[in-house]
Amino acid sequence: MKLKFLLNTIILLIVQSNKAQPTLKVDSQPQCYSWAIVGAGLAGITALAVLIDNGVDPSTVAWIDPEFNVGRVGKYYRNVPGNVQASRLILYVNTCPFFKQINPSAFDKLYSCDPNEFQPLHVIVDPLVDFTDYLASMVTPIKDSINSLDYDNNHWVLNGTDYTINAQKVILAIGAHPRRLNYDITEIPLDDALDQDKLATLVSPNDRVAVFGGMHSAILMLKYLSECSVKQIINFYVEPYFYDAPGLEGITAAYAKNVLEQDPPGNLIRLLNIAENRNTILPLCTKVIYAIGYEPNPILVNGSTRLAFNEDTGMITQDLYGIGIAFPPTGIINGHKIAKNGLHTYLNYAKKLIPQWITNERFKEPVPSFEIIDKHPDLPWI
Ligand SMILES: Cc1cc2nc3c(=O)[nH]c(=O)nc-3n(C[C@H](O)[C@H](O)[C@H](O)COP(=O)(O)OP(=O)(O)OC[C@H]3O[C@@H](n4cnc5c(N)ncnc54)[C@H](O)[C@@H]3O)c2cc1C
């Protein structure tokens, strides 16, 4: 009896450890997954749901992320005011495959919001945490960071810190990090500054804080800093901000309209980012925040970090595809090329391109330019 129990326990442990550690480096013949998705942020979650919805057997899919915590939004931006209304978040829930089925308690909060109000991002992050668990239970989740990918003998080899994973096709949803400049001033990282409570602990009444940037994040910084106790706020911007999608929305737009333009705080100045202004003012600044956009997280593909990406097909190279803020579709706004980001963009993009990635049919004929199917375009949020 005891022996049987012991045997069962050992078998259970082996099964469980196989699930958690699918292909150890020492494995001589590792399993080859049909698909691997790298990244579990908004884009990776969406891509996986759409992939399974298009008939890919989830048991043949590996999903890799070091944290499985809804990416950058889950880690840093839960309290950031979103730039879409609650109704748009609900629309995503209703149109993203499988999401509605899981009905987590966190939906209550989302559904109880005023549909026309702009909500902090945690109202969508909380249900997405449960959705991540649900999707992870369907596929093989692997907690790891992929350092490089190499194409070898008709499949991709994904070299992680702890595992090596083989897959026929790979979707990179690896996200991006805030861009920085390198002025010799103490930097407050944007990810920290976007948390208003944290920002308040990182500045003092003697600080003159320089904020670089002119859109959503930068204007939010001006709002947050003007509500902290700092000596002066100096905003260096290149282009004037603008309103409505894809410009400022929600509380950031309200602050710009009602405060910046009507009655700006006495300790706030906005200056064009030109050498003359920088040379005079920057030496006086004690802290700096760079709110100037994001750049893709690096990854080595066949020995190079310089990845060509075709936004019409979503293809990086043979059997390797990109989605999310690292590989966004773009549009021209006010004469400038801007990246289109956000849940709806990723969902529309995935619904349009993933069926083609599955069949490879897109390569037979040119694919027309990507268009947002939704009548509300998604917003750049930098
Ligand atoms: C102020 C602000 C407001 C915003 N408002 C909204 C909004 O209202 N609505 C909206 O939809 N979006 C909003 N966003 C945008 C949102 O933050 C981004 O669009 C989103 O985070 C991008 O998702 P992603 O999945 O592409 O990348 P990320 O969120 O960065 O996720 C990437 C994931 O990949 C993983 N990863 C990276 N490299 C590797 C690797 N080598 N191996 C394994 N895993 C890896 C990371 O751990 C992470 O989990 C806002 C952003 C900001 C800053």
Residues 6 or more apart whose CB falls under 8 angstroms from that of 25 comprise 162, 163, 164
> 148, 381, 382: which to mutate for ligand 1, most atoms within 8 A of CB?
381
pLDDT value for 333: 76
Nearest CA to ligand 1 atom 6: 82
The topology (CATH level 3) of 2-177+295-363 is FAD/NAD(P)-binding domain (3.50.50)
DSSP secondary structure string for all residues of 231-295? SEEEEEESS---BSTTSB-HHHHHHIIIIITTS--TTEEEEE--HHHHHHHGGG-SEEEE-S-EE
Q: What is the pLDDT at residue 361? A: 63
Ligand 1, CB cutoff 6 Å, lining residues: 38-44, 64-67, 71-73, 77, 80, 82-84, 121, 145-146, 173-176, 194, 216-217, 297, 299, 324-326, 341-343, 381
Tell which CATH classification among 2.60.40, 1.10.260, 2.40.160, 3.50.50 matches the domain 186-292: 3.50.50
Using alpha carbons only, give the angle 285, 288, 291 rounded to the nearest 5 degrees: 140
Q: For ligand 1, what atom is nearest to the CA of residue 42?
A: 25
- Whose structure tokens read 């670089």? 212
Query: Do the strands 81-85 and 118-120 form a parallel or antiparallel pair, or are they unpaired?
Result: antiparallel
Residue 330: both structure tokens together: 């773009």
Place of tokens 């849940």: 343
Write down the pLDDT at residue 26: 41
The separation between the first and the last C-alpha atoms of the chain, rounded to the nearest angstrom, is 64
Please tell me the residue having the least CA distance from ligand 1 atom 7.
82
Distance 83 CA to ligand 1 centre (A): 14
pTM of the model: 0.89
In the chain, where are the structural domains located?
2-177+295-363, 186-292
Question: How many Cβ atoms sit within 10 Å of the Cβ of residue 225?
Answer: 27
Q: Which of 46, 72, 119, 219 to mutate to test the pocket of ligand 1 (most atoms within 8 A of CB)?
A: 72
Q: Which tokens belong to 97?
A: 């495959």
Nearest CA to ligand 1 atom 13: 342
Phi, psi (5° rounding) for residue 267? -100, 15
SS3 label, residue 309: coil
Whether 186-292 and 2-177+295-363 are alike in CATH topology: the answer is yes
For atom 38 of ligand 1, the residue with the nearest CA is 174
The residue whose two tokens read 């008939």 is 55
Closest residue by Cα to atom 41, ligand 1, is: 146
Q: Which two tokens stand for residue 141?
A: 């989740």
pLDDT string in tens for the chain (382-residue length): 444 444 434 433 433 443 344 444 444 567 899 999 999 999 999 999 999 999 999 999 999 999 999 999 999 999 999 888 999 999 999 999 999 999 889 999 999 999 999 999 999 999 999 999 999 999 999 999 999 999 998 999 999 999 999 999 999 999 999 999 999 999 999 999 999 999 999 999 999 999 999 999 999 999 999 999 999 999 999 989 988 776 798 899 999 999 999 999 999 999 999 999 999 999 999 999 999 999 999 999 999 999 999 999 999 999 999 999 999 998 887 777 888 899 999 999 999 999 999 998 654 444 443 333 333 333 344 4
